[in-house]
Amino acid sequence: MKKYNFNAGPCVLPRQAVEASIEAIRNFDNTGIGLLEISHRTPGWEKVMSDCVALWRELLNIPDNYKVLFLGGGASTQFFTVPSNLMSTKAAYLETGVWAKKAMKEAKFYGEAVTVASSADKNFSYIPKEYTIPKDADYFHITTNNTIYGTEIKEDIDSPITLVADMSSDIMSRPIDISKYGIIYGGAQKNVGPAGVTFVIVREDLLGKVERQIPSMVDYRSHIKNDSMFNTPPVFPIYVMFETLKWVKSLGGVEKMQEINQNKAALLYNEIDRNKMFVGTAAKEDRSLMNVCFVMHEDHKDKEAEFMTFAKEQGMVGIKGHRSVGGFRASIYNSCPVEAIEALVKCMQEFEKKNS
Ligand SMILES: *Cc1c(COP(=O)(O)O)cnc(C)c1O
């Protein structure tokens, strides 16, 4: 049976990126040697690195005063790398979910981390809007897409201080005005590749301002100086990411991606709003285009397990909601084909019919 993969991360990848990566493992760049067996100092690999950086720059229109890094450690490593590099005394955080809280927890090792606003009162089902960013903080940290709760900051916000964004789960889903940000980071495994590589876009002039000594691996300047090859880079995840982004470019880039994502999300949200069996959990204006969270309607609470089984039988994979929200979550990142969403919608419609 055909499977439709809605996993939240790691998630579905474009088929052609997977196939090209398998071939590179067998025979990298027609060298007769596999990608996993070459030195990262070979010219062929250095070209992949520089071409991949160039593709990031092209797709997101990244200005020259920003550097693009591919590192290890996941977004979670950036939770402490960011304050280590930028925080002198104080940093401000927008608390929109578990990932934001985790980021803030790590910042507290370096100074005072303050919560500017929080949506914890309603289980992070919305994005706080009325808040004042403290001008005396070294940076303001946001999580643009809240993977677990299905809320998203869909427009670039204005910040009077350096804006730092965890874009793990919505990078490359829409155009971004990079100049509004100081640092953008994320794990690749949600929207741009497999697990194992972390992207960082950093405005270079922000670095070197803190007084603390920073261990080399945590200091962005070590990685900038060495074009992300201060130590052995995660070559395979970078390669798959490169192939994934070539696919994004072939479709028409991030503007086109945004249009496709808006249409895909609308298909599913319209069905959630129409179908009497289900309700969405996120505030409508903050609904994520990447992670669509929904639960059984109050009148059908007892049918949750039944729908899960029904959906599984129709080939749906990975639609169980995170334990802190419950119900269902369909992650419909860039690489999730519209056919998968159509199949899920059909499944929801059939389930409604079956129960009426
Ligand atoms: C998954 C996720 C993370 C954690 O990423 P790792 O690469 O596993 O450390 C951080 N932030 C957000 C928004 C996420 O979705």
- For every residue of 48-80, DSSP letters joined together read HHHHHHHHHHHHHT--TTEEEEEESSHHHHHHH
Torsion of CA 292, 257, 75, 42, to 10 degrees: 150
21-57 as b/e: b if 16+ CB within 10 A: beebeeebeeeeeebeebebeeeebeebbeebbebbb
Cβ of 333 less than 6 Å from ligand 1: no
pLDDT tens readout for residues 203-253: 999 999 999 999 999 999 999 999 999 999 999 999 999 999 999 999 999
Question: Quick one: pLDDT at residue 313?
Answer: 97
Coil, strand or helix: which one is 19? helix
> Residue 163 forms beta bridges with which residues?
140
Residues with a catalytic annotation lie at 99, 166, 190
The pLDDT-based confidence of 356 (bands split at 50, 70, 90) is confident
Question: Quick one: pLDDT at residue 325?
Answer: 94
Helices (H), 166-292: 220-225, 235-251, 253-274
- State in Å: Cα 186 to ligand 1 middle: 7
Does residue 109 surpass a pLDDT of 90? yes
Coil, strand or helix: which one is 184? strand
Question: Quick one: pLDDT at residue 172?
Answer: 98
Strand stretches in 167-239, DSSP E:
183-187, 198-203
- Identify whether the C-beta of residue 58 lies closer than 8 Å to the C-beta of residue 249: yes
Which H or E element spans position 330? strand 328-331
Cβ of 331 less than 6 Å from ligand 1: no
pLDDT tens readout for residues 243-260: 999 999 999 999 999 999
